[in-house]
Amino acid sequence: MITGIVEVLLVVGLVVVLMNLFKKKTAPPAPAGPDLGNLKPTDARAGDVISVTGAGDDFTDLDFTTDRCLWYQAGSRRWFEISGPYRERRVALRVSTDSDDETEVAVHNDPRKLSVENFGMSESDLADMDERQNTGDWFEFENRNWQYVLSREAQATGGASGPAAFYYWEFHEKDGKGLLTFRKAEGEPFVATLYTSVPAGNVTIYRGART
């Protein structure tokens, strides 16, 4: 009787050992990466080749290889800009997500070096707008009305010299696709940048080597 029980236990133990030996361990799934054949603007990174339909000079496609990516934050507003050379100047793609998780894309391709004075504005004008924080404020430039959106302290990260702080103003073209920003770092002149909003579907990204 005892011998039979021992034999049964030995058989059960052998079965358990064999099951453990041959049991296949399930490897954890690899993290899903972006579909390289259908990269979105939010997937862009330094080293990628970007083509924006009709956004180049003379309404050609804007094609450039990116070599720089900077991330920005101004209060709760966050976005990134990825840039590279195009026809002996630097162009940029600005990508952000709004409160409804919709991707907003804009292109900087204006070759002009513009100052605050070019817009008929002064540092005191911008300071007054910042103090009022009134989204009803606006000014006219090139026969277009530019409406105040926000102004506040901001920070850029991703540059070779580390995080950089500056003050930031943002204006949108009323009933248009224009976006205008002013940046002022301590001890530095104002930097004005004009963008044009484009549909996210007009942007094609080809994965390149990371730089």
Count of C-beta atoms within a 10 Å radius of residue 46: 18
Q: Is residue 160's pLDDT more than 60?
A: yes
The mean pLDDT value for 141-158 works out to 96
Question: Alpha-carbon distance 141 to 119, whole Å?
Answer: 6
Answer for the pair 77, 99: CB distance below 8 angstroms, yes or no: no
Asked, for residue 54, whether it belongs to a domain, the answer is: yes
Residue 211 lies in a domain: no
Stretch 178-206: mean pLDDT, rounded?
96
Q: Is the pTM of this model over 0.85?
A: no
Residue 76 has pLDDT above 80, yes or no: yes
Is the pLDDT confidence value at 180 over 70?
A: yes
Say if 89 falls within a structural domain.
yes
The count of structural domains within the chain is 1
Does 3 fall in a domain?
no
Whole-number pLDDT of residue 9: 39
62 is in which domain, residue-wise? 41-206
In contact, 182 and 194? CB cutoff 8 Å: no
